[in-house]
Amino acid sequence: MAQRLFAAMARGASSLPSMSALFLGMSLSTGQVQAKNPPENLQWQTYNKSYEGQRYSPLRQIDRTNIATLKRVCEVEVGEQGAFQSGLLVIDDTLFMTTPHTTLAVNATTCEVRWRDVHVETAPYLNPGNRGPAYYEGKIFRGTGDGWLVAFDARTGRQLWKVAAGDTKLGEHFSSAPIAWKGKLYIGTSGGDWGAQARVAAYDVDDGR
């Protein structure tokens, strides 16, 4: 499934200046099917795929000999107008993505929305952009444009915790994708254009401390 998703993004990202709908499914005419639980190295669990940050996929199902046979099989409305900047995560058969306010979990084969969470602003967003979520041990994490960090149950979308980690009065907010590693969630504040002094902090993945 991951091959279809990334092939779709490679073809669709440059042609969609504003994202009210995201094209997901691109299938090969051969109809090949992957295992339900692919090996970890075939998944995309962080913004850069791995902690090395190479964004390199070892998949070989799609190459220059068959890319012309790709066809769209489904799409999903993300529910928000504007630039779509999210790095997509693929965990087993689920695709995770963010918009400035919305966090989505989508069936990677059918584009069915498994869960959706819409963040309600507590202060005006300084920068309406978000680079995507992080995944760690069954949890999805993201930052928001009004300075919150939020954790969700990856399977159900239930909010596990939410902490105020940035101060918009100082120009701080979150647009970058966090990184989760060894029980901690790492993220840096955005806001240099608004006078904020950037900082990096680590939070406990279980409770946001």
Q: Is residue 85 part of a domain?
A: yes
Looking at residue 197, which CATH number applies to its domain? 2.40.128.630
What are 28's two structure tokens? 């090969």
Q: Is residue 137 part of a domain?
A: yes
**Per-residue pLDDT band at 180 (split at 50, 70, 90):** very high
CB-based burial, 158-180: b 16+ in 10 Å, e otherwise: eebbeeebbebeebbbbbbbbbb
Q: Is residue 83 part of a domain?
A: yes
CB 171 within 8 A of CB 124: no
Number of domains in the chain: 1
Q: Is residue 107 part of a domain?
A: yes
Cβ neighbours of residue 41 closer than 8 Å, sequence gap 6 or more? 58
Q: Is residue 100 part of a domain?
A: yes
pLDDT attached to residue 37: 55
The pLDDT tens digits of the residues spanning 9-55 come to 434 433 333 444 455 555 655 444 444 555 556 789 999 998 888 88
The pLDDT tens digits of the residues spanning 86-133 come to 999 999 999 999 999 999 999 999 999 999 999 999 998 888 889 999
Average pLDDT over residues 180-192: 93
CB 78 within 8 A of CB 90: no
Look up tokens 């994202």; give the residue. Answer: 19
What domain range includes position 195?
2-204
3-state secondary structure of 83: coil
Please give the model's pTM, rounded to 2 decimal places: 0.82
What rounded mean pLDDT belongs to the chain?
Answer: 83
Q: Is residue 138 part of a domain?
A: yes
Q: Is residue 72 part of a domain?
A: yes
Q: Is residue 209 part of a domain?
A: no
Alpha-carbon gap, residue 149 to 103, rounded angstroms: 12
